[in-house]
Structures are given as C-alpha cells and as structure tokens.
Amino acid sequence: MLSSNMVALAYLIASVLIIFALKGLASPVSARRGNTFGMLGMGIAALVTLQLDSVQNYAWIVAAIAVGGLIGGVTARKVPMTHMPQTVAFMHSLVGLAAVLIAVSALYDPVAYGIAGSHGGLHVASRIELFLGTFIGAITFTASLIAFGKLQGILSGRPLVFAAQHPLNLVLGLGMIAAGILFCVNGAWLPFLIMLAIALVLGVLLIVPIGGADMPVIVSMLNSYSGWAAAGIGFTLGNNMLIIAGALVGSSGAILSYIMCKAMNRSLFNVLLGGFGGEAATAVAGGATAVERPVHSGAAEDAAFLIGNARSVVIIPGYGLAVARAQHALKEMVELLLKQGVDVKFAIHPVAGRMPGHMNVLLAEADVPYDIVFEMDEINSEFSDTDVALVIGANDVVNPAAKTDPASPIYGMPILEAAKAEHVIVVKRSMAVGYAGLDNDLFYMDRTMMLFADAKKACEAITQALD
C-alpha cells in the first residue's frame, strides 16, 4: 500500500498528464500524443485508486473492468466514423449515470465512504456535494440519451416545442433546487429522490426542443456537464484526482461550447436553458425540400476541368462527406491535385458535422496533411483570391443568408465565405435543405455548379477524370 503522500504525488502526476492531454488534443498534429498522455494519466489514477485501503472487494471491480472493457473495445472497432457523435453522447450518459449511482450508494452507506458524521448521518458539506453531483449527473444522463436518440435517428431530429415549455422548465428547476435544499438540511431519502426524479425529467425537457443542426454545441455542453458531475462526486469520495479531472473536462467543455456558440451567433445562456435552436428550425422542418429555382448543374468531368485548371482550390467538407465515408476518396483526389501543382487547402467551420472537430477527425483518419487544413478565421480572407471553392456535403455553414438576409434565422452567424471564390462547385445528393431548414442562395449563383452525386462517388469520378 502506498502512503498518503505517495498517493497525493501519483494523483498530481496523473493530473499533470491529463492537462498535457488536453493541450495535445488542441491540435491534430499533437492529438495522438495527447491521447497517449491522457491514457497514461488515467491509468496511473486507476492503479493508485485500486490500492487504497477503502477498496476491499476486487472481484466486482475486475468483473466490471472486464465487461466494460469488452463492450468498449468491440464498440470502438465496430462504430463507423459517421456514428461517432452519438457514440460520444452515449458515453456522456454513462458518466452521468455513474455519478448518480455513486451518490445513491454514498447516501445508502455513508460510513463506507467516510462521509458520515458522529451520529452516523451525512455531514452537511457532503449533502451539498451529493446534491450538486446528483442533479448534474441525472440531467447529463437523460439529456445525453435524448441527444443520442436524435443523432442515431431513433428520435426525430426536429425540435419538439410545446406551450409553456420554458415556464415548466423553470418550475421544475425551482422544485429540484427546493428538494435539494431540503435534502441538504435533513439528509432524508424522500427529498433526495424527488430531486433526482425532477433532474431526470429536466434532462429530457432541456434537449427535446433542440434541433439536429445544433447538436455539435449540445454534445460539447454535455461533455462539460459530465465533467462537473464527476468533479462533484469527487468531493463526495474525497478523491482529488477525480475533482481535478472533472473540473478540467467541465471547464474545457464549457469553453468549447462558448466558442461554438460564437461560431453560430448563438447565446450560451440559451443553450444552458434549453430550447437552443428550436426557433430557427421550426420555421422549416429539417430535411424539407427547398423551393425550386433554376440551378447550373454539371458532371464530374466538368468539375474536374474547373479544378484541374485552377491555381488554388479550397475544399469545404460537411456532414455529407461523413455520411458517404468519402474522406479517403477525397484524399486521393487531393494528392493528385497537389502533384499537378494546384494549391489545395481545406476550410473547416467550427460546427461542421455533428460534433466538435468532426471534420478534423475525418480528415485525420484519411491522413490528410495537417498543414493544409485551416480553421474558418484563418482562411476566410483567402476566398476572394481562390479559383474554385469545392463544397462537399456542407450546407448551412456556407449559406450567404447569414450575411445578407436580416430576416434569416441564421443571420449574423459566421460562415465560410465560399461565395467570394471565382467558381463554386457544390457536391450534393439533392437540393434538400440542411438541418437548419433553410434554402441556400449559394446554390443558385451564376458562378456555382451543382454536382448531384454521392460524395464518395463524386470524388472518385473527379479523380478519374483528372488522371
């Protein structure tokens, strides 16, 4: 057994490694190293925790690790990249559920957790910690399950809005706080269970009015919730490592959510209250067909002619690229263009795809060079000097209405300014609108050519025509 000083030192080392992990994950270049730091840090924390005096029954722990490791390993290998957002959401739900179960266990046997007072009940401070960890964990659990259902297609991606929705959420929130305060005062089971039940319902009600287009921010926000839930339970367990790791995850998730909200011209306050994106998406249901207007369409050979004769090409990937699993075919096309002397760059919008960094992950999987992948703020100024903007499976993030139409729900949202390029090629299966439910004026510009095809097949056809 390690001494208390050695345990503290080991937790400190693990915490530093997790900080390095977050730093590494900030860039695709260092992401693999960041993952390694994170795994090493959590491995140290787990091994140190297992040798604590309070751990007495290793059979259950080993069994849980074996079952969880098997399920996690199989899932990681089988889940396609297009399903990664809902997989992340589901994992967040497990963190929330773990926080709730630990809180219930601690309340059932506070002596075993070392948080009992002289009379055998809970310390007041421990009750407050349990209250915070439980309601955040419960909201995270059910909210993440709803997000998973929307992303997986089990539930409709459309916002579910009903009368007096926000007042109902407010009443439930106040009721949850009141029950929590009562629990903090007397430590009884009844107010705890009432608080828990209301939190579970709130998790559902906060997410159902949110449309599919806003899921990247929600996944990031749920990541933050799961971190704060873990930190709260860390106080209950007296585990500094869990407190630090949870706080890091919670704060980084909140910062990322704020950045993404700015990228969508949204308020983080609205996200926290729920109903985020509902107003924008209810105007036109996601997946509806755009109003028929004349467009210029062409074949893969036409696209290859424009791209092959261009000095510079900026590629804008979107969720359609992920659905078609076209990243490898796109990489082959890019390699050919680079060999032919074309200046090729990728432009990534912060909320492209269905989770933070979705497009970056896809391109990294295909081994696209990191030095040709740029964020929106880095590349927007270059579109006016770009010969061809190639939009593959993206829609709302290139919609000029965000800059030109004050009546548009997305007005003010920063976009990738593909419309400024000399020529625009849009690879799309049909003229269906995106998740925001809005028609896209970019598709009807004289300089725009629509290539109606599956993204993978289109990239393969263009590559063949270029070769």
- Predicted confidence at residue 182, as pLDDT, reads 95
DSSP 214: G
- Predicted confidence at residue 287, as pLDDT, reads 44
CA atoms of 256 and 251, how far apart (whole Å): 9
278 inside domain: no
pLDDT confidence band for 385 (50 / 70 / 90)? very high
- Predicted confidence at residue 21, as pLDDT, reads 93
290 inside domain: no
430 inside domain: yes
**Within a 10 A sphere around the Cβ of 73, how many other Cβ atoms?**
10
Closest CA to 204 of 164, 134, 283, 149: 149
Same domain, 70 and 169: no
Q: Which of 29, 51, 78 is the last residue of a domain?
A: 78
- pLDDT higher than threshold 90 for residue 418: yes
- Predicted confidence at residue 347, as pLDDT, reads 96
- Predicted confidence at residue 270, as pLDDT, reads 64
List pLDDT tens digits, range 87-123.
Answer: 888 999 999 999 999 999 988 888 877 777 766 678 8
420 inside domain: yes
User: For residues 132 and 243, is the Cβ–Cβ distance under 8 A?
Assistant: no
Q: Which tokens belong to 320? A: 């359609």
Residue whose structure tokens are 């604590």: 52
Question: What is the domain-level CATH number for residue 391?
Answer: 3.40.50.1220
Question: When comparing pLDDT for 330 and 265, which is higher?
Answer: 330
Same domain, 345 and 457: yes
**Most distant CA atoms of the chain, gap in Å:** 82
Query: Which whole-number Å values give the CA distances from 454 to 80, 272, 457, in the listed order?
Result: 18, 37, 5
Same domain, 88 and 154: yes
* Strand 423-428 with 448-452, pairing: parallel
Backbone angles phi, psi at 119, to 5 degrees: -90, 5
List pLDDT tens digits, range 423-447.
Answer: 999 999 888 777 666 789 999 999 9
Domain coverage including residue 101: 81-273
Same domain, 380 and 391: yes
pLDDT confidence band for 77 (50 / 70 / 90)? confident
Q: How many residues does the chain have?
A: 467
List pLDDT tens digits, range 279-289.
Answer: 444 444 444 44
Same domain, 142 and 125: yes
- Predicted confidence at residue 288, as pLDDT, reads 45
CA atoms of 301 and 317, how far apart (whole Å): 20
250 inside domain: yes
DSSP 380: G
Residues 6+ apart with CB under 8 A from 223: 88, 92, 249, 253, 256
Same domain, 309 and 248: no
282 inside domain: no
CA atoms of 293 and 280, how far apart (whole Å): 22
DSSP 291: P
Q: Is 302 a catalytic residue?
A: no
Domain count of the fold of the chain: 3
Query: Which whole-number Å values give the CA distances from 409 to 257, 311, 332, 346, 420, in the listed order?
Result: 20, 36, 37, 27, 22
Q: Which of 55, 78, 101 is the last residue of a domain?
A: 78
- Predicted confidence at residue 280, as pLDDT, reads 44
The one catalytic residue in 396, 439, 454, 467 is: 396
- Predicted confidence at residue 240, as pLDDT, reads 86
Q: Which of 232, 256, 273 is the last residue of a domain?
A: 273
List pLDDT tens digits, range 271-319.
Answer: 555 444 444 444 444 444 445 778 899 999 999 999 999 999 999 999 8
User: Across residues 31-38, what is the average pLDDT?
Assistant: 92
Question: When comparing pLDDT for 183 and 240, which is higher?
Answer: 183
Same domain, 220 and 101: yes
**Within a 10 A sphere around the Cβ of 442, how many other Cβ atoms?**
22
Mean pLDDT, the chain, rounded, equals 86
In what helix (H) or strand (E) does residue 423 lie, and over which residues does it extend?
strand 423-428
Same domain, 264 and 320: no
Same domain, 254 and 365: no
Same domain, 201 and 232: yes
Residues 6+ apart with CB under 8 A from 337: 307, 308, 313, 344, 466
- Predicted confidence at residue 445, as pLDDT, reads 93
Same domain, 327 and 423: yes
List pLDDT tens digits, range 128-169.
Answer: 989 999 999 999 999 999 999 988 888 877 778 788 888 999
Q: For the stretch 312-345, what's the b/e string if a residue is b when 16 or more beta carbons lie within 10 angstroms of its beta carbon?
A: bbbbbbbbbbbbbbbbebbbbbbebbeeeebebb
171 inside domain: yes
Q: Which tokens belong to 152? A: 């997986």
Mean pLDDT is lowest, of 34-48, 344-358, 384-398, for 344-358
Same domain, 191 and 110: yes
pTM metric for this prediction:
0.79
End-to-end CA distance of the chain: 65
Query: Which whole-number Å values give the CA distances from 421 to 7, 63, 226, 309, 467, in the listed order?
Result: 58, 58, 42, 15, 24
Closest CA to 216 of 397, 371, 409: 397
381 inside domain: yes
- Predicted confidence at residue 439, as pLDDT, reads 84
User: Across residues 389-398, what is the average pLDDT?
Assistant: 92
